[in-house]
Amino acid sequence: MEERKEELKNKTKETKQEKTKKEKNKNDKKTNKFVEIIKKKWLINGTMTCLLVAIIIAIFIAINIIMQKLELTPIDFTQEKLYTLTEESKEKVKNIDKDVNIYFVGSTDDDSNLDLAKQYKKANERIVAEAVDANNRPDLVNKYGIESGTQGIIVECGEKSKVLSTNDLVTYDTSTYETISIAEEKLTSSIVSVTSEKVPKVYFLEGYSEFSLSQNMNYLNMYLANEINEIATLNLLTTGKVPDDCDTLVITTPNQDFNEIATNAIIDYIQSGKNILWLNSAITSQKDMPNVNKVLANYGVKPFEVGIIRETDANKMVTNSPDLILPEIEQATVTKDLYNTTGVIFINATKINIDTDKLEELKVEETDLLLASESSYYRTDFKIQSDSISHNEEKGTFVVGAELEKTIKEANEENGESAVTSKLVIYGENYFVSDLPLNQTSQYAAIQLASYNKDLILNSIAYLVDREEDITARKNTGTVTYTATEAQDTIIRVIIFAVPIIIIIIGIVVWQIRRRKK
């Protein structure tokens, strides 16, 4: 009985093998038949071969023309998606109701920045980008002063325009000498700028700090220029007042007291209902600054104390450095897109002391933006070398970022008058947006290495100049990094290696067939 079962099993196996063999032979015959048709019909003489090649080339050209007309978004394999328009940019331009023309003078259709600019049309059909030959459009060249033989980018909307050079779309890392693309930031800000009725103006107070746009904050200057802002410096000794067109005044860590002219000018500015961004790094020695404190007292902020915040929780510090803290980001308008992110990095931060008892009297409302964790402590004695908290050191949750809104004039519903308020956004840190590195071994500036540092400062200014739509988590414009997936990597390898090999093999086969026919 067992032998009979084994015999039947073997017969079944043989039958399956024969069936598989027949199917394979059948498929081989079909393949051979196709090859024979190609051999006899197309490769029998040079004329037919040339015709076949011409047809293939024609199909290739037709596909390319169709693809160009479709203006499909190029496949972007860069980690930072530098050649793909972000959702933030699409949101900024989608409601523009004016015609915007972006002319790439002297560029060709294969320019990657032109490909990026063409993507705006998918977000808003009224934004059109095109490559322009300078010889065919001398009117543009003459109107905007583009020199012969050079490239220029013109963003035009009616009578308003902005001219960019190709160099404006990149910046350079002075430590690594790598090129960093800022094309999208520049193009988006230019589009919004030429279509906006008003461009906010931000002044940086000079003469009282070691931090300025030209010293220690060059990167911030560049990033602000990429946003929809007009940037200027302010010397109150020269002007005697804060200009009327100032939408936000930025004050960086004062290392000397304000004089009477500056003090009165800033207080008058506050009383007019204007806004201030204040950055104050930790102080290591007490200085007498009654006028600086007088300005801060308008919002209920007490004088800054000597000392720095240090962290004991490893999850709230960077590279196990107690001085590099990761503050907890609170829910607020300024920080709404940074909430639940990896956070900002503060260096030697100081605490912001707010006189809560006087806020009601001053008509000020306070909102916490950033808090040091409950495991942090405040060190005032810099001679202590230990990273552990000493018995006399203050421990707790410290405010390191806050918004204070002061009501200057109440709303009057009978007269239809709106309330007049002045806002102060203040951070107990300044190095986090500086060109200075996070530590001695770092090659990058603090504002570069921690991308959310940049977002925090730009969002703060966007909020203060009343452009809340510009508050976002921005795309990192770092150097291009190839990060293809396994599937994408396979496709690329096939294109690079397999296709040329197939073409070579076909050429050899054709040559052999032609040779045998002779």
Q: What CATH number should be reported for the domain holding residue 258?
A: 3.40.50.880
- Residue 230, domain extent: 201-466
Q: With contact defined as beta carbons under 8 Å apart, do 463 and 85 qualify?
A: no
The answer on pLDDT for 483 being more than 60 is no
Handedness of CA 251, 164, 116, 493 (dihedral sign): negative
Within 8 A by CB and 6+ apart from 452, the residues are: 338, 341, 342, 343, 344, 473
Our CA angle for 492, 493, 497, nearest 5°, is 125
Position 512 in a domain:
no
267 and 124 both lie in a single domain? no
The residue written with tokens 């003459």 in the block is 142
d(CA 451, CA 455): 7
385 and 348 both lie in a single domain? yes
Position 446 in a domain:
yes
The answer on pLDDT for 44 being more than 90 is no
Burial code (b: 16+ CB inside 10 Å, e: under 16) for 81-104 equals: ebbbbbebbeebbeebeeebbbbb
The residue written with tokens 């600086």 in the block is 292
150 and 221 both lie in a single domain? no
The number of C-alpha atoms within 13 Å of 338 and in the hemisphere containing its C-beta is 27
CATH number, domain containing residue 167: 3.40.30.10
Categorize the per-residue pLDDT at 290 as very low, low, confident or very high, splitting at 50, 70 and 90. Answer: very high
Residue among 175, 172, 153 nearest 164 (CA): 153
Report pLDDT digits (tens) over 112-134.
899 999 999 999 999 999 999 88
Tell me which amino acid residue 169 is.
L
122 and 214 both lie in a single domain? no
Q: With contact defined as beta carbons under 8 Å apart, do 465 and 200 qualify?
A: yes
Report pLDDT digits (tens) over 54-90.
777 777 677 766 655 555 555 554 555 556 888 888 9
195 and 207 both lie in a single domain? no
CB atoms within 10 A of CB 416: 7
The answer on pLDDT for 4 being more than 80 is no
Model pLDDT, residue 210: 92
Report pLDDT digits (tens) over 304-323.
999 999 999 999 998 889 99
| Residue predicted with more confidence, 241 or 175 | 241
Q: From the centroid of its chain, how far is CA 94? A: 19
Q: Reduce the DSSP state of residue 491 to 3 states and report it.
A: helix
Position 444 in a domain:
yes
Q: With contact defined as beta carbons under 8 Å apart, do 424 and 248 qualify?
A: no
320 and 206 both lie in a single domain? yes
Residue among 113, 511, 453, 138 nearest 279 (CA): 453
The answer on pLDDT for 102 being more than 70 is yes
| Number of domains observed in the structure of the chain | 2
Least confident of 139-148, 288-297, 361-370: 139-148
d(CA 128, CA 121): 6
d(CA 136, CA 37): 51
The answer on pLDDT for 96 being more than 90 is yes
Q: Tell me the Ramachandran region of residue 88: left when phi exceeds 0, alpha when psi lies from -120 to 50, beta otherwise.
A: alpha
Q: From the centroid of its chain, how far is CA 471? A: 12
371 and 402 both lie in a single domain? yes
Categorize the per-residue pLDDT at 41 as very low, low, confident or very high, splitting at 50, 70 and 90. Answer: low
Position 90 in a domain:
yes
222 and 358 both lie in a single domain? yes
Mean pLDDT of the chain: 82
Position 44 in a domain:
no
177 and 260 both lie in a single domain? no
d(CA 325, CA 341): 15
308 and 375 both lie in a single domain? yes
* Count of residues making up the chain: 518
pTM (predicted TM-score): 0.68
The residue written with tokens 């203006």 in the block is 71
451 and 479 both lie in a single domain? no
Question: What are the start-end ranges of the H helices in 352-392?
Answer: 359-362
340 and 350 both lie in a single domain? yes
Our CA angle for 227, 345, 305, nearest 5°, is 105
